[in-house]
Chains A and B, each alone.
Chain A
Amino acid sequence: MSHDALTLTNVHKRFGPAHIIRGVDLNIPEGERHAIIGPNGAGKSTLFNLISGRFDISDGEIRLHGEAINGLPPHLINRKKLSRSFQITNLFQRMTVFENLRCALLWAHGYGYSFWKMVESQKALNEEAEQLLEKIHLQDKRNTMASLLSYADQRALEIGTTIAGGANVILLDEPTAGMSHTETDYAVQLIREVTEDKTLIMVEHDMGVVFDIADRISVLVYGEIIATDVPEKIRGNARVQEAYLGTGEDAA
Chain B
Amino acid sequence: MQQTAKSQPGAAVGFLRRYSLWIAAAVVVLVLPYIFTSGSSISMMSQMGVMVVFALSYNMLLGQGGMLSFGHAVYFGLGGFFTLHAINGVNNGAWSFPLELMPLVGGLGGLAFGIIFGWISTKRAGVTFALISLGIGELVAASAQMFTDFFGGEGGISTNRVTAANEASIFGFNYGPQIDIYYLVVVWAFLATILIYLLTKTPLGRMANAVRDNPERAQFVGYNPRMVRFAQFSLSGFFAGLAGGLFAIMFEILTAENLGAIQSGSVLLMTYIGGIGIFFGPIIGAILITWLQTSLSAFSEAWVLYFGLMFVFMVMYAPFGISGIIMQHYLPYKTGLLKRLLPAYGIAVIPTLILLVGAVSIVEMGYHISTSYLPSRPMDLFWVSVVATNAWSWIIAGAIFVAGVFACRWSYRKVGRAWDDVNETLVERGLA
Contact = CB atoms under 8 A, between A and B. Distances in A.
Interface of A: 52, 54, 73-75, 78-79, 83-84, 86, 90-95, 99, 102-104, 106-108, 111-120, 161-162, 164-165
A93 B218 CA distance: 12
Contacts of B205: 115
Contact of A92 (B201, B209, B219, B228): B209
Contacts of B214: 90-93
B240 to A, nearest CB: 16
A52, A102, A118 — most chain B CB neighbours (10 Å): A118
Interface residues of B, number: 27
Given A119-B206, A162-B220, 20 more contacts: A52-B220, A75-B218, A75-B223, A78-B220, A90-B217, A91-B213, A92-B210, A94-B212, A102-B206, A103-B207, A103-B218, A103-B221, A106-B221, A113-B227, A113-B231, A115-B204, A119-B203, A120-B201, A161-B217, A161-B221
Q: What 4 pairs across the A-B complex have the smallest Cβ distances?
A: A107-B222, A111-B203, A115-B204, A92-B213
Contacts of B204: 113-115
B202 A119 contact: yes
B221 A165 contact: yes
Provide the main secondary structure of the chain A interface.
loop
B213 A118 contact: no
Contacts of B207: 103, 106, 113
A118 B198 contact: yes
Contacts, number: 97
A104 B213 CA distance: 13
Interface string B106-142: 0000000000000000000000000000000000000
A103 B205 CA distance: 10
Contact of A104 (B201, B221, B224, B228): B221
B216 interface: yes
B369 interface: no
Contact of B222 (A75, A94, A114, A118): A75
Contact of A106 (B198, B206, B220): B206
Contacts of A117: 202-203
Given A74-B219, A107-B222, A112 B203 contact: yes
A78 B227 contact: no
